[in-house]
Chains A and B, each alone.
Chain A
Amino acid sequence: MNESATRMLLTGNHAVAWGARLARPKFMACYPITPQTPILEKLTDFQMAGELDAEILTPESEHSAMAACISASLTGVRVFTATSCQGLLLMHEMLHYASGARAPIVMCNVNRTVASPWAFWPDQTDSVSQRDTGWIQLYSESSQESLDTVIQAFRIAERVVNPVLINQDAFYISHALEPVEVPARETVDRYLPPFQPEHVLDPERGESLGNVVSPEMFCQHRKDIGRAMQLAIAAAQESDGEWQRLVGRGYGIIEPYRCEDAELVIATMGSMCGTVRHTVDEMRARGRAVGLLKVRLFRPFPVDALRDALAGIPDVLVLDRNFSPGAGGVLHQELKAALYGMADAPRIHGYLAGVGGVNVPPGKIEEFVDQVQHSEPAIHSVWTG
């Protein structure tokens, strides 16, 4: 099935670098920031060894890095970049710009706590707070998944003409070693057609981009982006399905794990899914009917899939490793909104677990389950730890 795939021990960062390399981008503009730096360094290593034929630009800030990525993408080449927390936030203006300009950039973000105060721990506030910027967002649970998702992301991005953000937690994923199957170049070449955008900055074509628009044009453009987002759900499913066919690994846009006849389902994103998966297995072994709902595609928020998956489940416990002051956990809010008005909707409990990188072991998760099961959910997200 995987003609000459290679098995390596890779951290999440290196797995991302391998995924990017295989996708054959022609331009990358990166600014180093802990804990993303190994991605940039691995890519420059590949380039120096002649294994990666791409222009690598190292500008003076992330804002400039994203600015260069957008213009390079619009000039007609496949673009990849990576960043984390402060860097992602510094790019904020340009994230909006990228989606508005319909630049199909793929970026990996390593989820790290956002200053102030300064810290380096896993926390997803950085990326979830960018959920309005128009980027498609996916959250990875493992190094393998990160590699696979980077490759899938290019297919999704270029199909719907929209940028894609892949997120992996600091250190738990980015720096932890795992055995990873690295697909063969030919496999990826078969999976990703060459990048041939419909519009490009080219003196022979003479098209320009960025002239000021009327209110009607702007409104129409937002509708167009909305449509692309809607199509992204099917595109993400198709990309995942096709990848599964080629290499035998697929992840879905959400993954319900042992949710059949579950009494309580734990919903979460990123590395926490791994811990919850383990907890679910342990609790099931002791006869507790619990399941995991892994949310992989966060933007567009997969409302229909979630309603299908959670229909009839009595309790859902959301674990948010993020915090939006004045509103609570973001996945908590989004899920409540997604399920609102559903007949036989579950009781939704929201826990703020792991904010700031605080460790959440399986035992703790079991405690959370006991605390909320069968009880009325608190309206607001509940702090733990």
Chain B
Amino acid sequence: MELLEIEDRHLFYSGHAACPGCVEALAMRHILNTLGPDTVAVVPPSCTAIICGAQPCNSLKIPVYQTTLESSAAAASGVRRALDAQGKHDTTVIVMAGDGGTYDIGFQALSSAVERNEDMIYFCFDNEGYMNTGAQKSSATPLYVATGSTPAGKRSKKKNLTEIMAAHEIPYVATATPAHLADLVQKVEKAKSIPGARVITVLIPCLPGWGLPDDAGINAARLAVDTGMFPLYEVEDGQRYTLNQSKKSRPVKDYLMMQKRYRHLTAEELDEIQATVDRSWARLVEKSAHA
């Protein structure tokens, strides 16, 4: 078993209000400790904002600016430019936003910021729904999932943010999960070393939102990757694809059936999802072969 070795710089404090077992808090812990103290974060309304804490307490040691839901990327651009105007070019500017504030209401500002190749690392904590407001659907919610606003199952597919960001041909786009900590840390370090716009989507299984027990977050993320539902890969400059896993080793059923939000799935729907994943995987393998 490969052992983890991640420096813990105590940039994330205990006492935060994340749900027990929340792997978004876990992702924040390791992302912050990898980035280091010379960082400013922009956070919209989201679970991340709740985890940051209530006035006058903060669970992050670095400065955090909480902006409105649509405007994370714009606000981060403002911070970035203001720091640059003061000659502080080494300070890292990051966004930690949910899928709502990234795929939907925040999408416009994000596309604009990356089109300008703003120098920031944008982390999307993708828990596939508006979890902070009680688990309603977002455009990141996958097909057939039951949510607060799609109780019969969502009829539309999940938007592919990674491919959209890759189409903007920004220096670095990647996917990651908190179950694959060494991979996540390595990607954060790599992103930090590249100037320009960098977007990393981190899959966050949400325990109440997806219908998982408190201790299942890591296992769910691992299965998402092993089944190919959330492949780990990187795209540099919109052209060079690197697949970070050599195979997908399990049927999607193993991942889907452990979540309450998929319990109503019919056999036909399950087959359809498997076929879609198989096709997407084959495309990804081909793209990364040409790199």
> For window 105-157 of chain B, which residues contact chain A by CB distance below 8 Å?
108-109, 111-113, 116
Q: Are A71 and B112 in contact (CB under 8 A)?
A: no
Q: Are B77 and A57 in contact (CB under 8 A)?
A: yes
Shortest C-beta distance, A207 to chain B (Å), equals 6
Q: Are A71 and B85 in contact (CB under 8 A)?
A: no
Q: Are B66 and A206 in contact (CB under 8 A)?
A: no
Q: Are A203 and B85 in contact (CB under 8 A)?
A: no
Q: Are B63 and A27 in contact (CB under 8 A)?
A: no
Q: Are B74 and A64 in contact (CB under 8 A)?
A: yes
B56 surroundings in chain A (CB, below 8 A): 211
Shortest C-beta distance, A134 to chain B (Å), equals 15
Contacts A59-B109, A93-B68, A211-B52 given; indicate if A67 touches B75 (C-beta within 8 A).
yes
Q: With the chains together, A54 CA to B78 CA distance in Å?
A: 12
Q: Are A203 and B66 in contact (CB under 8 A)?
A: no
Of the listed stretches B32-40, B184-192, B256-264, B271-279, chain A binds B32-40
Q: Which of B38, B61, B67 contacts A210 (CB 8 A)?
A: B67
A94 surroundings in chain B (CB, below 8 A): 68, 71
Residue B289 at the A interface, CB < 8 A?
A: no
> For window 139-183 of chain A, which residues contact chain B by CB distance below 8 Å?
none
Residue A55 at the B interface, CB < 8 A?
A: yes
Q: Are B61 and A206 in contact (CB under 8 A)?
A: yes
Residue A355 at the B interface, CB < 8 A?
A: no
A61 surroundings in chain B (CB, below 8 A): 108-109, 112
B42 surroundings in chain A (CB, below 8 A): 71
Q: How large is the interface on B (under 10, 10 to 19, 20 to 34, 35 or more residues)?
A: 35 or more
Residue A285 at the B interface, CB < 8 A?
A: no
> For window 3-52 of chain B, which residues contact chain A by CB distance below 8 Å?
37-40, 42-43, 49-50, 52
B206 surroundings in chain A (CB, below 8 A): none
A68 surroundings in chain B (CB, below 8 A): 71, 74-75, 77-78, 81
A97 surroundings in chain B (CB, below 8 A): 67-68
Residue A29 at the B interface, CB < 8 A?
A: yes
Q: Are A65 and B74 in contact (CB under 8 A)?
A: yes
Q: Are A211 and B55 in contact (CB under 8 A)?
A: yes
Q: With the chains together, A371 CA to B61 CA distance in Å?
A: 67
A29 surroundings in chain B (CB, below 8 A): 74, 77-78
Q: With the chains together, A205 CA to B67 CA distance in Å?
A: 19
Residue A213 at the B interface, CB < 8 A?
A: yes
Q: Are A209 and B77 in contact (CB under 8 A)?
A: no
Q: Which of B40, B77, B83 contacts A59 (CB 8 A)?
A: B77
Of the listed stretches A9-17, A72-80, A290-298, A358-366, chain B binds A72-80
Q: Are B85 and A27 in contact (CB under 8 A)?
A: yes
Q: Are B82 and A55 in contact (CB under 8 A)?
A: yes
| B 75-99 to A, binary, CB cutoff 8 A, 1 in contact else 0 | 1111101111110000100000000
Contacts A75-B40, A94-B68, A212-B49 given; indicate if A70 touches B63 (C-beta within 8 A).
no
Q: With the chains together, A29 CA to B73 CA distance in Å?
A: 13
Contacts A57-B81, A59-B112, A211-B57 given; indicate if A67 touches B68 (C-beta within 8 A).
yes
Q: With the chains together, A61 CA to B70 CA distance in Å?
A: 11
Q: Are B78 and A63 in contact (CB under 8 A)?
A: no
Q: With the chains together, A76 CA to B54 CA distance in Å?
A: 23
Residue B270 at the A interface, CB < 8 A?
A: no
B91 surroundings in chain A (CB, below 8 A): 203
Most chain B beta-carbon neighbours within 10 Å: one of A27, A75, A207, A212 = A75
Residue A343 at the B interface, CB < 8 A?
A: no
Q: With the chains together, A318 CA to B159 CA distance in Å?
A: 55
Contacts A59-B74, A71-B65 given; indicate if A26 touches B49 (C-beta within 8 A).
no
Shortest C-beta distance, B57 to chain A (Å), equals 7
Residue A208 at the B interface, CB < 8 A?
A: yes
Residue A306 at the B interface, CB < 8 A?
A: no
Q: With the chains together, A54 CA to B74 CA distance in Å?
A: 17
Q: Which of A69, A93, A211, A212 contacts B78 (CB 8 A)?
A: A69
Q: A70-B75, A75-B86, A203-B91 are in contact. List 8 more A-B contacts (CB 8 A).
A: A27-B81, A29-B78, A67-B67, A77-B85, A202-B40, A202-B63, A211-B55, A211-B58
Would you mind naming 16 contact pairs between A and B with Cβ atoms under 8 Å apart?
Answer: A64-B70, A69-B78, A71-B82, A72-B82, A77-B82, A93-B68, A94-B68, A201-B63, A201-B79, A202-B40, A203-B37, A206-B61, A208-B66, A210-B43, A210-B67, A212-B50
Interchain residue pairs A-B with the least CB separation, the first 9: A210-B66, A68-B78, A67-B71, A64-B74, A60-B112, A75-B82, A71-B78, A55-B81, A72-B78
